Structure 1
Amino acid sequence: MIFGPTPLEEARGAILAHTIRLTGKVLKKGTVLDQPAIAALQAGGHGSVIAARMEPGDVPEDEAADRLANALMGPLLARSRASTGRVNLIADAAGLLVVNPVTIDRLNALDESLTVATLASYVPVSAKEMVATIKVIPFSVPGPVLQVAELQARQGSAAGRPALALHPFRPLKVGLVLTELPGIKESVMEGAVEATRNRVEGLCGTLLPHERVRHETPAVADALNRLKRAGAQVLLVAGASAVVDRRDVGPAAIVRAGGTIDHFGMPVDPGNLICLGHIDAIPALVLPGCAKSPKLNGIDWVLQRLFAGLAVTPRDVMAMGVGGLLKEIEARPLPREQAANQPAPAQAPRRGRRIAALVLAAGRSRRMAPLNKLLVQDDQGVPMVVRVVDNALASRARPVVVVTGYEHERVEQALSGRPVILSHAEDYAEGLSASLKAGLAALPKDLDAVVICLGDMPLVAGPMIDRLMAAFDPEEGRSIVMPTFRGKQGNPMLWAMEYLPEMMTITGDVGARHLAGKHAEKVAEVEMADDAVLRDFDTTDALRKAPGFAGVR
């Protein structure tokens, strides 16, 4: 690839290295310069540009990212389309992600033009969660380099060690035995059941009716066999007293029930005193005392692997030490519990980004008069604005602010009881900008960004909003995020708070979309799986065609 100043006479087909703003036109970084673009540059007084020109054998950034993504794909993995040399890999189901670090390290060491970043190995992920991103650093990759990368990416899969593997959680039935000793509080027993049920259900499983027995080996063994006959696929023992030896009551009961003890102890704290065994092919575990707490501990790591269909061997357990310190210890100079009361350092760690949702629901609905479209009910009797707000509440965005205007009492009544902030736009009749500014003024001051949702787009679901939020990364130049479907730009849009002052100056019946053109180099597009982000509803005929609104009159 040839990079540097390029005379316009030689720039046709070259890739623009930096965004250039012209009168009435913006040429974004990465634009392939055609004759109209060159003519616009010449008209703007430019004689040359900083550009990249392909050499024989070079592969353009999007094609290179696309090919490497295809080589890394596997079952239950989805992917985004290539854009600006980036492709994201996404989980298609809830499960446990297993990463082959050898393959990933080899890919990243191959050439500086190619990078692959992944989540840590053995982390649980939810459906639609990003698990990896491929980024081509320059505008192209040498063809031979890309061929080697594709080969390396596929070799692991051929050998049974893919670079990325998603193991879906299985709906297992779990049996729990609680042992009792005199003096044990009932609240402790109930807490152990509740914590276990939450863990099991969080992994798509079901907790069978639990057994409560004396803290004696025969009684525990009999309970294990009863749960086994009831269909338990995992057996757990929560002892009234912590297990201190592989011959203690819990482990001895597993052996008495016909099982075997595989390993005692683990290098994870809390969670050290866990005992792993099996009865026939059913995993049987004696839980550490910390399993009665909902906080993350070693049992979570073991259960995640079991629910994902992965074996947990003694060697697996002994390899969990790196990262296994999950709690504070007194030997640390300043445990977090104390640090919370100390003055913040000069440069505090970056907190999680806080992103709000702003629902614009103030319009007069003139095209659907005499109906107020926001209050038109779907086939289940739910008003459109309620569906929109419920979708926002189903996302991770918080808080959710709703701007009201026309018939605001009725709209507010429809939303009664929902955890939203209401902001009334007194001057809503002046147009969309008035509603937008009323909503922006009601936002908390410590936000990083806001997703602006339209009140007449009831098909935009919570996970779609979450995808926009996941793409937001101002440090990477993605401070404006817009959804697309088959290349068409839609709504809602996400905006970093740095654009709020400009938004507050907008007037008339317009929103903020035109600002995206002004800041084109900061815009990230997120392709969606369906056209919900393109569908707003202004007439009854259009609304009848929307899912769930066929009965609108």
Structure 2
Amino acid sequence: MKVVPVQEAVGMVLCHDITQIVPGKFKGRAFKKGHIIQFEDIPKLLDIGKQNIYVWEINNGLLHEDDAALRIAKAAAGSGISLTEPKEGKVSLLAEEKGLLKVNVDALYSINELEEVMFATLHTNQIVEKGKVLAGTRIIPLVIEEDKICKIESICQTNYPLVEVKPFKSLKVGVVTTGSEVYHGRIKDKFGPVVMKKIESWGSVVSRQIFVSDSTDMIVDAINRLLGEGVEMITVTGGMSVDPDDVTPAGIRAAGGRIVTYGAPTLPGAMFMLAYIGDVPVLGLPGCVMYSKSSIFDLVVPRILAGEELSRRDIVKLGHGGLCVNCKECRYPDCGFGKSL
């Protein structure tokens, strides 16, 4: 910071707000802290009695807050991301489309460990809508050494992308609905419509629903029929508890399912099963998916639709944040459910 004559301040950054007072008419901020002095500003500064002003001098080794924030954001942004213009030194990252938000958390920590910068994001692995603000970045002072921004750009390049939105694939989905009471028409199926509505809201299509009784052989047959029809994901609803007549897990295993997990550290959703037959994910859905506004289903399926193959470790990590507190008005995904560190 230094004091310079107004006439010599063009291109330099104002270190403080400058107030203008016009008796009986106006009192307020004429120039804002961080403003880059322009040639046309000189007459106004002189008119309000400013012969000399305090400025930061921008030189080859320093960057203004707007330029610094824009460079950080550009380095961090991957596909599906748009940037706002710098405003008050901050640049926001927005979703260009609906999809799955992915944040490289370790790289984010590395950036925020550096002094004089900040980068804040939403939690990774959540559904985001087009236009949603996903992240924001800025520097803390008005100006910063360019070397620090170069270091951040290097972190982003090594860990690219820091932030991205993965679009959802449109999958052909098959639904197997278990339960003798539904199969024999004693009660109306209420599980299938819930699953179908969510799948379709994410851009995929349910090609067929098959009803079966509580029979391992019938479940195997239904899964094989759907695979033969070329489905790309299968959900098997119901029959996931430990009751003797709940045979869905056995049916998925007998159909050749490679089990990733039977059980998940989430509530609701503890009795969830994830398996793969070839590259086709097969999901055993517990009853909570039918009546809970958000559940394990909402945490896992969007990641599958974004092209990810989930591991046992991915499911285990859901335990931190895996407790839904059943808010009176469900705000998912704008809540902590499923948001692990």
Distance apart, 1:71 and its partner CA: 1.3
- Kindly indicate whether residue 99 of structure 2 is the aligned counterpart of residue 101 of structure 1: no
- Kindly indicate whether residue 138 of structure 2 is the aligned counterpart of residue 135 of structure 1: yes
Determine the C-alpha separation between the residues in 2 that align with 1:183 and 1:271: 22
Matched position secondary structure for 2:241: coil
Matched position secondary structure for 1:286: strand
- The CA deviation string for residues 365-421 of structure 1, in whole angstroms up to 9 with x for no partner, is xxxxxxxxxxxxxxxxxxxxxxxxxxxxxxxxxxxxxxxxxxxxxxxxxxxxxxxxx
Determine the C-alpha separation between the residues in 2 that align with 1:187 and 1:53: 80
Cα gap change, 1:188 to 1:297, in 2 (>3 Å): farther
Counterparts of 1:19-98 in structure 2, within 5 Å, are: 20-21=19-20, 26-98=30-102
CA contact 1:254–1:278 (8 Å) conserved in 2: no
Determine the C-alpha separation between the residues in 1 that align with 2:162 and 2:318: 20
- Kindly indicate whether residue 267 of structure 2 is the aligned counterpart of residue 269 of structure 1: yes
Structure 1 unmatched runs, 5+? 329-335, 341-351, 353-553
Query: Which of 288, 296, 299 is the equivalent residue of 2:297?
Result: 299
Determine the C-alpha separation between the residues in 1 that align with 2:244 and 2:318: 20
Determine the C-alpha separation between the residues in 2 that align with 1:252 and 1:287: 13
Which letter maps to 2:310? V
Structure 2 unmatched runs, 5+? 335-341
Matched position secondary structure for 1:167: strand
- The CA deviation string for residues 87-124 of structure 1, in whole angstroms up to 9 with x for no partner, is 22222222111111111111111122x21111101111
- Kindly indicate whether residue 208 of structure 2 is the aligned counterpart of residue 209 of structure 1: yes
CA contact 2:214–2:246 (8 Å) conserved in 1: no
Counterpart residue number, 2:339: none
Which letter maps to 2:265? P
- The CA deviation string for residues 180-232 of structure 1, in whole angstroms up to 9 with x for no partner, is 23489979743212210121012111112311111111111111112222222
Cα gap change, 1:187 to 1:91, in 2 (>3 Å): farther
Counterpart residue number, 2:167: 168
CA contact 1:191–1:293 (8 Å) conserved in 2: no
CA contact 1:95–1:125 (8 Å) conserved in 2: yes
Which letter maps to 2:45? L
- The CA deviation string for residues 415-435 of structure 1, in whole angstroms up to 9 with x for no partner, is xxxxxxxxxxxxxxxxxxxxx
Which letter maps to 1:196? V
Cα gap change, 1:107 to 1:50, in 2 (>3 Å): same
Counterpart residue number, 1:465: none
Sequence identity percentage: 29
Determine the C-alpha separation between the residues in 1 that align with 2:201 and 2:91: 29
Counterparts of 1:376-387 in structure 2, within 5 Å, are: none
Counterpart residue number, 2:153: 150
Cα gap change, 1:119 to 1:310, in 2 (>3 Å): same
Matched position secondary structure for 2:319: coil
Matched position secondary structure for 1:325: coil
Query: Which structure carries more relative contact order (alpha carbon 8 Å, separation 6+)?
Result: 2
- The CA deviation string for residues 300-338 of structure 1, in whole angstroms up to 9 with x for no partner, is 11101111111111111011111100135xxxxxxx66x
Determine the C-alpha separation between the residues in 2 that align with 1:289 and 1:81: 47
Comparing 85-94 with 203-212, which one deviates more in the overlay?
Answer: 85-94
Which letter maps to 1:82? P
Determine the C-alpha separation between the residues in 1 that align with 2:50 and 2:186: 77
Matched position secondary structure for 1:32: coil
Determine the C-alpha separation between the residues in 2 that align with 1:187 and 1:131: 47
- The CA deviation string for residues 443-498 of structure 1, in whole angstroms up to 9 with x for no partner, is xxxxxxxxxxxxxxxxxxxxxxxxxxxxxxxxxxxxxxxxxxxxxxxxxxxxxxxx
CA contact 1:215–1:249 (8 Å) conserved in 2: yes
Query: Which of 119, 123, 128 is the equivalent residue of 2:126?
Result: 123
Counterpart residue number, 1:289: 287
Determine the C-alpha separation between the residues in 2 that align with 1:216 and 1:295: 29
Counterpart residue number, 2:338: none
CA contact 2:100–2:166 (8 Å) conserved in 1: yes
Determine the C-alpha separation between the residues in 1 that align with 2:63 and 2:146: 6
Which letter maps to 2:298? D
Determine the C-alpha separation between the residues in 2 that align with 1:225 and 1:29: 68
Determine the C-alpha separation between the residues in 1 that align with 2:158 and 2:250: 45
Matched position secondary structure for 1:110: coil
Counterparts of 1:366-381 in structure 2, within 5 Å, are: none
Determine the C-alpha separation between the residues in 2 that align with 1:22 and 1:82: 29
Q: Normalising by structure 2, what TM-score? A: 0.85
Distance apart, 1:247 and its partner CA: 11
Determine the C-alpha separation between the residues in 2 that align with 1:246 and 1:168: 41
Q: Normalising by structure 1, what TM-score? A: 0.54
Counterpart residue number, 1:194: 193
